[in-house]
Structure 1
Amino acid sequence: MRFLFVHGTGVRRERHETLFALVKGALTARFPGAAVDSCFWGERFGATLGAGGRSVPGLGAPGDPAAPDAADAETAEWALLLADPLCELRVLAEAGWDTGPDEGDGFGMPGVQSAGAGVLQLLDRLGELPAIAPAGGELAALLRGAGLAAGFPAALEAVAGSAEAARAGERATGQPQARELATALARAVTAAALASAGAEADCTAVERDRLVELLTTRLGGDARVPGGRAAAVLGRLALRVTTQPLLNAWRPSLTVGATPALGDILRYQSRGEGLREFLHARITAEPGPTVLIGHSLGGIALVDLLALAAARGEPVPGVELLVTVGSQAPFLYELGALTGIAPGTKLPYAFPHWLNIYDRQDVLSYLAGPVFPGDPRVSDHRITSRQPFPACHSAYWKQAALYERIEQAVAEAEIG
């Protein structure tokens, strides 16, 4: 009897040697007379960045600055607002405004109301907007065109009735503060509407900014002047804590680091025939009953190979048992993205017994039995490593329960 181990995605020589040593040691202990071989394919069929990563923004391509610019800061700021539409109002409610001795509040100027009266009217106008906006005009057209009309009334109600808006209004001591509060309220309403719409929103940054301008004007603020104190605080915070600036900063290293794992999968999906031919040659290089053990992408390739060969009426010689560990093959089958088996079809007649090992914590492992119901050749077995993802995706190989189940499957298949 012979075992052949096929590693998964992202594995290169050093990592392969470590994994195979674990597998070989455990299998040799349980099957002293069996040969345990490996099929290392990572360097030959794995993915690399052929142009040195020049396609990745921020990795040094000419004319592509890596440092964040004003657009990055604005994007980060709105990411924070979408996560918490009331965050700017919360800053104003808690911190208020710094008012210098010569700032003034407009008192005594002809035609200028006191700040208190202005703020009260501002909040009143905000509460009245749900009845005004749908009536027509540019605001209504913009809301419909951006996909925000349905959630706009609720967004207005949430902001207008918030404790943050009321508290910020109480702390507005002058007309400049009232104008800034109008902008903050408009941005909060816009963010709440965008957050409510989610992926259904068809809103560009230009439309978003115009919506803020229209709302600010309706509230009596100055649409030409961006928010001051709150925007400054949130702008600095956004660059530190929101996902987008981190992604922008880390994208080069993340892309390069993820290339072996993600790239191997993408390369196999588009050019997997070479790997399958390589596996076929390694499997048939020696006679005798063979147990195939495929991890992750290795399991996908083995399922494809065995299914395609069986469908042609040319099953791979000697294969008595397939063991997939942490494999995505069943999920790809459901998606219609598994090369070897068309969606909705059964496993070919000559397909071998299939033991599929999974861990509930491993988000890259899936169940085979439920997608091939009633097929006695297919069985699932759960392993619990008590490790979170991604550690659990490689934790199988030190689990005695894995080899115990393989031993049981070998006995059930009467492989000797």
Structure 2
Amino acid sequence: MRFIFVHGTGVRRERFDKLAPMVASGLTARFPGSELVPCYWGDVYGADLSAGGASIPGVDGTRGVAAAGPLDHEIAEWLLLLTDPLCELRVLAKVAGGGDDGLQMPGVRAAGEEIADRVAKLQGDLPPGELALLLQATGIAGSYPAAVGTVAGSSEFAGACDMASDALAVRELAAAAARAVVAQALSVAGDEALCTGDERDRLVDLVGAQLGGTGRFPGGRVAAVLGGLALRLTTQPVLDHWRAPLTTGSVPALGDILRYQTRGRPLRDYLETVIKESAEPTVVIGHSLGGIALVDLYALAAIDRRPLPEARLLVTVGSQAPFLHELGALTGLPPTAGLPPGFPRWLNVFDRKDLLAYRAEPVFPGDPRVIDHEVSSRQPFPLSHSAYWKLDAVYDRIAEEIEAPR
């Protein structure tokens, strides 16, 4: 029995030299005397950074035009707000009140109640004027009313109102509430929002004005608690520090896929050469991107009526080929096309916890050549993407399909 094993995205020589013997052991245990042809392509056909990563901002250690300046503080604070729009209100609800002793005279309203009333009045239809126009222009008019309701009904806002006990605290509360409303609207809108920093600040000012305050309140207690934390997490020097290793570290995995999608023919030609080295019916096994390349190769060969030695079985493991075809992005098949005559029997192995693994049967409904088989490594992603080769269930299912009558 002849097996060909094609590795997946991101694999390089050191890892492949550990992986191939593992696959060989699993197969030879079920087919004694079989031959595994390891098909390594990472060095020649995989991606690398030809200019050493020169395109990555910060990789050379140079500081950006706004590095570690006031803009960093502002971006850091808004990153926290977009992640957790109520975070400033939560801090205000926890810190001590203002200058009085917290006792209220009978018939005198607590200072924060005025802000609560004004926030409640923001609910409903958009007010006419500049605020409504700006909400429309920034793409958040649809999320703004619900954002007001979220802030008004939150325990964080109620707690902050309870703690506001003097004029200074009320101003800070109005500013935090306005920022929370705008941050909530932007966060819900997500990619639908088209908003610059200047527009965001103007929105905060307009909402703050309706609350009787201002959208910007420098030097307050919230800034003292959150400002330093935000800056440590999100300043440009920190982003630059992580961007280079994250980008270069992702090159083998992501870069291999991008390179194959653009210039995949040399890899397919190489695989075809390896397959043609023997006329014996062969079991071809492809992991991840290796599976994509094999599906492309056999589909194109069948469509072009180009002779390839018979594949006894095509096995894809943790592969994205079905997903790419559903997108209309699979090189070997036109969008929505079925598998051509002459395409081999296809066993597609996937693990639900593997975010790079997809089902094939629903994409090719009614085609008896396509068989999905689900396994579970009981590992989260990304460990689940590599754990297949230590699962007996994978090799057992391959053996079962090989031995099944055709």
Calculate the TM-score normalised by the size of structure 1.
Answer: 0.88
1:27 equivalent to 2:27? Answer yes
- SS of match in other structure, 1:134: coil
**Is residue 409 of structure 1 aligned with residue 396 of structure 2?**
no
Task: State the match for 1:124 in structure 2.
Answer: 117
Q: Deviations over 1:46-81 (max 9, x none)?
A: 100111111112211655489654434322322322
Q: State the SS of the aligned residue for 1:291.
A: strand
- The one of 190, 207, 214 equivalent to 2:199 is 207
Inter-CA distance 67–29: structure 2 relative to 1 (3 Å threshold): farther
Maintained 8 Å contact 2:110/2:165: no
Q: Are the counterparts in 1 of residues 140 and 185 from structure 2 also a CA contact under 8 Å?
A: yes
Question: Which amino acid in 1 is paired with 2:92?
Answer: L
Secondary structure, in 3 states, of the residue corresponding to 2:29?
helix
CA contact (8 A) 1:183 1:226 kept: no
Cα distance change, pair 78–85 in 1 and its aligned pair in 2 (3 A): same
Q: 1:340 to 1:68 in 2, by over 3 A?
A: farther
1:357 aligns with 2:336: no
- For the residue of structure 2 that corresponds to 1:88, the secondary structure is helix
User: How far 1:248 moved relative to its partner?
Assistant: 5.1
Of 161, 181, 197, the match for 2:173 = 181
1:356 alignment partner, SS class: strand
Change (3 A) 1:35 1:119: closer
Distance in 1 (alpha carbons) for counterparts of 2:143 and 2:195: 13
Give the match for residue 396 of structure 1.
388
TM-score by length of 2: 0.90
CA separation of 1:375/1:134 partners in 2, compared to 1, >3 Å: closer, same or farther?
closer
Determine the C-alpha separation between the residues in 2 that align with 1:278 and 1:315.
15
Structural RMSD (CA): 2.6
Task: Give the number of equivalent residue pairs.
Answer: 399
8 Å contact from structure 1 (residues 54, 61) kept in 2: no
What does residue 322 of structure 1 align with? 314
Asked whether the equivalents of residues 66 and 249 of structure 1 are also in contact (C-alpha less than 8 Å), the reply is no
Aligned match of 1:334: 326
1:9 aligns with 2:2: no
Instruction: Give the match's secondary structure for 1:5.
Output: strand
Unpaired runs of at least 5, structure 2: 101-107
Preserved CA contact (<8 Å) 1:2 1:291 = yes
SS at match of 1:321: strand
The equivalences for 1:144-159 within 5 A come to: 144-159=136-151
How far did residue 373 of structure 1 move?
Answer: 1.3
The within-5 A match list for 1:231-246 is 231-239=223-231
Deviates more, 1:300-309 or 1:234-243: 234-243
What is the alpha-carbon distance in structure 2 between the residues aligned to residue 166 and residue 17 of structure 1?
A: 61
Q: CA deviation at 1:387?
A: 1.6
Matches within 5 A, 1:11-410: 11-60=11-60, 62-64=62-64, 68-96=68-96, 119-130=112-123, 134-223=126-215, 225-226=217-218, 228-239=220-231, 249-410=241-402
Kept in 1: contact 2:98–2:168 (CA 8 A): no
Change beyond 3 A, Cα 1:202–1:67: closer
Instruction: Judge conservation of contact 1:59–1:66 (CA < 8 Å) in 2.
Output: no
Q: Once structures 1 and 2 are overlaid, which stretch shifts more, 380-389 or 119-128? A: 119-128
SS of the equivalent of 1:124 reads helix
Contact 2:315-2:347 within 8 A present in 1 as well: yes
Percent identical pairs in the alignment equals 57
Deviation track 1:153-193 (CA, whole Å, cap 9, x = no partner) reads 33223323444334323333332222222211111111122
Deviates more, 1:164-173 or 1:294-303: 164-173
Q: Structure 2: which amino acid aligns with 1:42?
A: G
- 1:13 offset after TM fit, Å? 0.6
Report the AA paired with residue 170 of structure 2: A
In the TM superposition, residue 19 of structure 1 has moved relative to its aligned partner by 0.5
Deviations 1:109-161 (A, max 9, x none): xxxxxx97764433333332346x73422112111212222332332233234
Greater CA drift, 76-85 or 303-312: 76-85
CA shift for structure 1 position 96: 2.9
Give the distance between the partners of 1:407 and 1:134, measured in 2 at CA: 65
Residue 315 of structure 1: CA displacement? 3.3
Q: Secondary structure at the match of 1:30?
A: coil
Q: 1:223 to 1:303 in 2, by over 3 A?
A: closer
> Structure 2: how far apart are the matches of 1:252 and 1:349?
47
CA distance in structure 1 between the aligned counterparts of 2:237 and 2:93, rounded to whole angstroms: 27
Q: CA deviation at 1:227?
A: 6.0
Residue number in structure 2 paired with 1:103 = none
Worse-superposed segment, 192-201 or 29-38: 192-201
Residue 3 of structure 1 aligns to a residue in which SS? Answer: strand
Gapped regions of structure 1 (runs ≥ 5): 100-106, 108-114
Contact 1:180 1:227 in 2 (8 A): no
